[in-house]
Amino acid sequence: MKGVYTLVTIALLAFATPLFADRLRVPAVVLEVFAGMILGAYGLGIIESSEWLEFLSTFGLIFLMFLSGLDLDINIIRKKKKFAYLGLLFLALSMSFSYLLTLAFGLDLLYAILLTNVSVGIVVPTIREMGIVKSNLGQQILVAAFITDFVTMFALTIYAVSVRTGKTGYELLLVFGIFLVFLLSYYIGRLAIWHFPEFMSRWFTEDPMELGVRGSMAIMVSFVGLSYLLGVEAILGAFLAGALLSIIFRGGERLEEKLYGIGYGFLIPIFFISVGASMDPLKILSSNFDLLVILVFMAFAVKIVPSLIFVPTFGLVNSLRIGIIQTSKLSLTIAGVSIGENLGVLSYDEASTVIFFTILTCLISPTIFRALYGGKSE
């Protein structure tokens, strides 16, 4: 019976949070996590853990990663080669710097991956809101974010597999197995478009059977299933399934809107609320405050220092803007925390602190980015 209350509460929260988020001008996910904290086990105790919640929350995370993959825009990277090279260099410097800092502070390698990561889901709406998506600066920010997102996703998977399996080469090869399936699926997809365009067209037009949604879900679940079989993280499978759709079809807003509707309209809020519900905010602030401060410092350091490579192209202020917006984190970082916790690399307290830190970057980075613009767009 209690499980029913939990689900009803979460469903109502998922509906209400965007309304307040709009008024407070913060991302809805921040409110979702905070609402989870207040109503969760360490707050009012209304949201209780259950199998249902666990399942929906996991499915929400998988869907979140699937939509992250779908957000990837390979065309921008192909069109803006110079920006892609700069983005790669930025990523390499940022990753190396993160690694050195985690060594210096005695933290696990996982932190280096999480600190390097960026949330495309925060970056895109922020620069869209500023009206700079099509400017060179906007394109550079996007290209760097896409590359970083993809590489850190891959790095996280390799890390997880190597920790779980004791760093043997054989299991690592399985990670590449999923990439082979990805390539094969790409060619099959393109052949299907060429030979059965009328059928494929139904994926993107008004179809009462919602063929596009069914097909996308089938691809996503198949890749997640394949990940389990190959012993790879499920989120990589989901992410690759999203990226696969993005690369095969290169656009087709109607299908994307429907998938966003299912994800952000229901499953993903459940994931964020349940993440919040499992956190103990008082403990984070009392016992892990030092770690929180260190993480915030490192997060900005590992992005702002490498962002100086953009100075010759974009000037100092714009380079700082690029660095600051790249510190925003969300889905992959939170997914990384769950993985770290499952692997036993992160303690419960550490995990909570990193999630709290993630939420902070979601709030701070876009705010500073906007402030550097002084409210003006290019």
- Given the rule CB under 8 A, which residues bind other proteins? 73, 75-76, 79, 190, 193-194, 197-198, 200-201, 203-205, 249-252, 254-255
Around Cβ 80, how many Cβ atoms within 10 Å?
17
**Measured CA angle at 306 (ends 296, 88), to 5 deg:** 115
Kindly state the smallest distance separating residue 341's Cβ from other proteins, in Å: 39
Q: Determine the angle formed by the axes of helices 234-249 and 136-165, rounding to 10 degrees.
A: 140
Kindly state the smallest distance separating residue 228's Cβ from other proteins, in Å: 30
Residue closer to other proteins (CB basis): 135 or 201: 201
Residue closer to other proteins (CB basis): 104 or 209: 209
- Token pair of 170 as six digits: 């054989």
CA distances from 40 to 131, 272, 366 (A): 38, 12, 27
Kindly state the smallest distance separating residue 247's Cβ from other proteins, in Å: 9
Kindly state the smallest distance separating residue 254's Cβ from other proteins, in Å: 7
**Cα four-point dihedral sign 133, 139, 145, 150:** positive
**Max Cα distance, the chain (Å):** 62
Mention every residue, 6+ apart, whose C-beta is less than 8 A from residue 233.
156, 157, 160, 161, 227, 339
Residue closer to other proteins (CB basis): 86 or 200: 200
Residue closer to other proteins (CB basis): 2 or 82: 82
Residue closer to other proteins (CB basis): 172 or 193: 193
Question: Is-contact 133 127, C-beta < 8 A?
Answer: yes
Kindly state the smallest distance separating residue 66's Cβ from other proteins, in Å: 18
Residue closer to other proteins (CB basis): 128 or 254: 254
Kindly state the smallest distance separating residue 293's Cβ from other proteins, in Å: 42
Q: Of the candidates 273, 279, 303, which has an alpha carbon nearest to the alpha carbon of residue 357?
A: 279
